[in-house]
Amino acid sequence: MAGLLAHSAGLSSEQAEALARAGVTSVCDALLVASVDSTATRAPSALGVVHADALKRLVEHCAPALVPADVLWVRRKAKACMVRTCTELDALMGGGVMTGEVLELAGRSGSGKTWLCLATCAHVALELRAHALFVDTGANFCARAFLEECSRVARALDLPDEQVAPALRRVRVVRVSDADEVAALLEHVRAARAAKADAWYSRLALVVVDSPALALMPLLARGNAGHAWIVTISRALRALTHCNLAVVVTNHLVGAEVALREGLIEDSARLALGSSWRAVSDMRVYLDAARPSGATLAAAPTAPCTAWLERSHRSGPREGSVRRAVAARRAPASDCQ
């Protein structure tokens, strides 16, 4: 029995040695002995009663039992909760983003990505009364704008104004400047969440990263190194979803200036984080402030996205759209003096 395996399964060294003495030296042995133990009803076990538990844990670690879909569904429903973004986008996504999912908001600068991130944080803080973490790579978090957004969400939810101030205390902002810090921070959050020691992280429901692309872009020109960073950060984000957290990330649209001049805008604009990043998100929404369709759902496990794509092409400017929501919901910043 490899000591490393026994250690990762959480066995003590005595347990590992006892298993080795009983002839269990590999995973195959463990599985075999376990199956003989469970099928042979009266036969005395090759291992003592004390070590049957160790064997069971080892088997669960090496070959976890398959879980039926309905059991998974019940488990997930018991744990997961719905995080809302804004009315129009929620309708598009089938209710919002669940904890355990990654929502990606892609769009040009000024299309409302950061605003939607703020709106989602506000919903978490006010509606779920849970905590949210805003990872700010581009210094785009404005507390004044977030206060306005919280006030607006509170009005929409018919909550008294007194609830806005506590909501602001539930949201924390971290300013990070490079990919290294983003990766370190995400791992820190995952570890803190798994340790269950810090009450703040136990009530965390949402992590917003606005935007990973800004931290990664300086590295992308370096070929493989940039690619490795994309994979590192996308895995760190996926790891957060396994801790029952909702994750919202933004992605940029970039395009060469040459193409802009030739009028090939839509065709040439592409996602800043492209194919290696694609696997990160469960849902991707394209935001477009200039086009009438407003938002397009491009990939989603919960909603039939192709149907929407067709509808979005046909819909005229009078259809409900996120673009209009962005325009209408941004209250004038008169008290920003």
Partner 1 sequence: MEQPGELRFDRASDLLERHRTRLRTGCARMDEVLGGGLLDRGITEIAGEASAGKTQLALQLIFQVQLPRSEGGLQGGALFLHAEGGEAPVKRLRQIGSAFARRWSSAGATVDRLCDNVFIDRIETADLLMNALRYRVPTLLATRAVRLVVIDSIAALFRTHLDDDLPRRSELLHAIAAEMQALSDRMHVAFVVLNQITDSVDTPDTPDAACTAVPAVSKRAALGLAWSHCVNTRLLLSRAQARPFAPPRLQPQLAQLGGALAEQQPRPGARVELRTMRVVLSPCVEQRSCEYVIDADGVRDATDDETAHG
Q: Scan residues 146-165 and list those touching partner 1 (CB under 8 A).
A: 146-147, 165
The minimum distance between CB 264 and partner 1, in angstroms, equals 8
Residue 311 found at the interface with partner 1 (CB under 8 A)? no
Among 27, 192, 231, 243, binds partner 1 (CB under 8 A): 192
Q: Under DSSP, is residue 183 helix (H, G, I), strand (E, B) or coil?
A: helix
- Could you tell me which residues are beta bridge partners of residue 247? 102, 207
Cα–Cα distance for residue pair 55/192, rounded to 1 Å: 30
Stretch that binds partner 1, among 43-51, 67-75, 216-224, 297-305 (CB under 8 A): 216-224
Minimum CB distance to partner 1 smaller for 36 or for 143: 143
Residue 208 found at the interface with partner 1 (CB under 8 A)? no
Residue 190 found at the interface with partner 1 (CB under 8 A)? no
Stretch that binds partner 1, among 26-34, 91-99, 109-117, 277-285 (CB under 8 A): 109-117
Residue 229 found at the interface with partner 1 (CB under 8 A)? no
Q: Give helix then strand counts, H and E, for the chain.
A: 17, 10
Cα–Cα distance for residue pair 23/21, rounded to 1 Å: 5
Stretch that binds partner 1, among 32-40, 72-80, 95-103, 329-337 (CB under 8 A): 329-337
The minimum distance between CB 318 and partner 1, in angstroms, equals 14
The minimum distance between CB 276 and partner 1, in angstroms, equals 16
Residue 181 found at the interface with partner 1 (CB under 8 A)? yes
| Opening angle at CA 224, ends 220 and 229, nearest 5 | 60
Residue 185 found at the interface with partner 1 (CB under 8 A)? yes
Stretch that binds partner 1, among 22-30, 106-114, 154-162, 236-244 (CB under 8 A): 106-114
Minimum CB distance to partner 1 smaller for 15 or for 85: 85
Is the Cβ–Cβ distance between 160 and 120 less than 8 Å?
Answer: no
Cα–Cα distance for residue pair 27/59, rounded to 1 Å: 8
Minimum CB distance to partner 1 smaller for 141 or for 308: 141
What is the footprint of partner 1 within residues 49-88 (CB under 8 A)? none
Closest CA to 37 of 22, 26, 25: 22
Amino acid identity of 43?
A
Cα-Cα end-to-end distance for the chain: 68
Cα–Cα distance for residue pair 46/144, rounded to 1 Å: 68
Helices (H), ranges, the chain: 3-8, 13-21, 27-39, 49-62, 69-79, 87-93, 113-123, 143-156, 164-170, 179-195, 199-202, 212-220, 224-241, 257-262, 265-268, 305-314, 322-329
Amino acid identity of 178?
D
Q: How many residues does the chain have?
A: 337
Residue 330 found at the interface with partner 1 (CB under 8 A)? yes
Cα–Cα distance for residue pair 126/65, rounded to 1 Å: 39
What is the footprint of partner 1 within residues 125-144 (CB under 8 A)? 133-134, 138-144
The minimum distance between CB 193 and partner 1, in angstroms, equals 10
What is the footprint of partner 1 within residues 240-299 (CB under 8 A)? 252-258, 260-263, 265-266, 269, 272, 291-292
